[in-house]
A and B are shown apart, each in its own frame.
Chain A
């Protein structure tokens, strides 16, 4: 091994690194004891490296960052709590949500929606809705991409997500698939399948068992909620909470719930 080759190897080893099992590295370090000029160069090089490393490590990290991370994650390691939401934004979202929900309940009553039945309380939580607009804006990572809807459904099922098979809206069966993801929210597993139709992306969430399903009702009526640019429909079916989300008014969502199979809800 010549001096230049040895320099090349020695240069990229951290200041306090020791020779490892790589024969080239071992030879380069051995050459140090044979070549005075190389040794002098190496000592100067590592002194420089050490000085740079020690100096850069003094660059301070803001302690408030740690607190914000811990607060945001609420010390729940495997639960997504959307900690990027700033308190002010969260408060505003909560106000909008509560107003929307109150208005929604009033409208539902006026439209003669079915009365609440036992077990129908298993809906998506206000927090879940509140987090969704931000969730979409952040362009979440997706686990798998495919235009094949069946493949996406299989993927979430095989990766620990709630199986969408028995709750998948019939009206979406022929829609083109796009991507999917499995994640956790409020300590519940969530499957998300995204589909595309007429330049719109339809997001279908299935949230795992949220409570005992009513024995009398296998599927509750969808509840429509508008929030900012987004509209949501949520319902409970077979003990799972389902949410359909789309950018636009809730009128865009309603067609997916028309003409259900007889006796479906």
Chain B
């Protein structure tokens, strides 16, 4: 679906078709598991059904959807405060380098799992940067934080991602250890 212009009416089915995958991936990167990513994504479309007609500028639908998902995630996190804990990250080493070829060889689920291990503060803008090709200004809009904050968080997030990728003991793409949990959960989920 091409981006709607300001006054376009939004076809709900097309909206879902266009955005459910990317919203799901973003939700997964935030929550770290399929069940919650599923619910968060669904919740965004419920919100759209409730309030989407209040969005005057339809060209901002993408930003609205991702902002809503992020807010839903924050709400979900508050409700599940005791249950929600991501793995602690070791301090990032400066100047870590990872060859893009190594990333190319990495399984998508492994990479997604690696992303979910990054501090949430940095992971959220990083997810939008990589999954949605958003500029730092667009990310600032979605997360409702200053652009300078987004820039520094992106920079640190990338460093953490590199450090995570390079510190993996097994060869990249092996799929062992925690790696591959995402794909396992994908297969395990019965709906």
CB distance from A8 to the nearest CB of B (A): 7
> Does B98 have its Cβ within 8 Å of any Cβ on chain A?
yes
Contacts of B42 in A (CB 8 A): 65, 68-69, 72, 83-84
Considering only residues 47-84 of chain A, those with a C-beta below 8 Å from chain B are: 47-62, 64-66, 68-70, 72-73, 75-81, 83-84
Determine if A51 and B103 form an interchain contact, defined as CB atoms under 8 angstroms apart: yes
Assess A49 versus B109: contact at CB under 8 Å? Given A62-B186, A65-B24. Answer: no
Q: Which residue of A lies closest to B16 (CB)?
A: A69
Contact string against B for A residues 74-96, beta-carbon threshold 8 Å, 1 for contact and 0 otherwise: 01111111011000000000000
Contacts of A141 in B (CB 8 A): 47, 50
Determine if A11 and B154 form an interchain contact, defined as CB atoms under 8 angstroms apart: yes
> Does A12 have its Cβ within 8 Å of any Cβ on chain B?
yes
Number of A-B contacts (CB under 8 A): 146
Determine if A16 and B133 form an interchain contact, defined as CB atoms under 8 angstroms apart: yes
Contact string against A for B residues 22-35, beta-carbon threshold 8 Å, 1 for contact and 0 otherwise: 10110011000010
Report which of B21, B53, B189 forms a contact with A78, defined as CB distance below 8 A: B53
Contacts of B77 in A (CB 8 A): none
> Does A17 have its Cβ within 8 Å of any Cβ on chain B?
yes
Determine if A55 and B104 form an interchain contact, defined as CB atoms under 8 angstroms apart: yes
Contact string against A for B residues 2-38, beta-carbon threshold 8 Å, 1 for contact and 0 otherwise: 0000000011110111001110110011000010001
> Does A184 have its Cβ within 8 Å of any Cβ on chain B?
yes
Determine if B161 and A52 form an interchain contact, defined as CB atoms under 8 angstroms apart: yes
Determine if A69 and B41 form an interchain contact, defined as CB atoms under 8 angstroms apart: yes
Report which of A53, A62, A64, A78 forms a contact with B133, defined as CB distance below 8 A: A53
CB distance from B8 to the nearest CB of A (A): 13
CB distance from B72 to the nearest CB of A (A): 10
Determine if B50 and A61 form an interchain contact, defined as CB atoms under 8 angstroms apart: no
- In the complex, A145 Cα to B46 Cα: how many Å? 22
Q: Which residue of B lies closest to A45 (CB)?
A: B158
> Does A212 have its Cβ within 8 Å of any Cβ on chain B?
no
Assess A59 versus B182: contact at CB under 8 Å? Given A52-B161, A83-B46. Answer: yes
Contacts of A139 in B (CB 8 A): 75, 79
Contacts of A11 in B (CB 8 A): 154-155, 158
Determine if B13 and A70 form an interchain contact, defined as CB atoms under 8 angstroms apart: yes
Task: Pick 11 A–B contacts, CB within 8 A, sort by A.
Answer: A14-B135, A48-B98, A52-B111, A56-B108, A56-B112, A60-B186, A61-B20, A61-B25, A69-B45, A72-B45, A184-B50
Beyond A56-B131, A59-B108, A139-B75, 10 additional pairs, beta carbon < 8 A:
A12-B151, A12-B154, A15-B133, A53-B131, A53-B133, A56-B29, A57-B131, A60-B186, A66-B16, A66-B17
Q: Point out residues on B near A: beta carbons under 8 Å.
A: 10-13, 15-17, 20-22, 24-25, 28-29, 34, 38-39, 41-43, 45-50, 52-53, 75, 79, 97-101, 103-104, 106, 108-109, 111-112, 115, 129-131, 133-136, 150-151, 154-155, 158, 161-162, 182, 186, 189, 191
Q: Point out residues on A near B: beta carbons under 8 Å.
A: 8-9, 11-17, 20, 44, 47-62, 64-66, 68-70, 72-73, 75-81, 83-84, 139, 141, 183-184
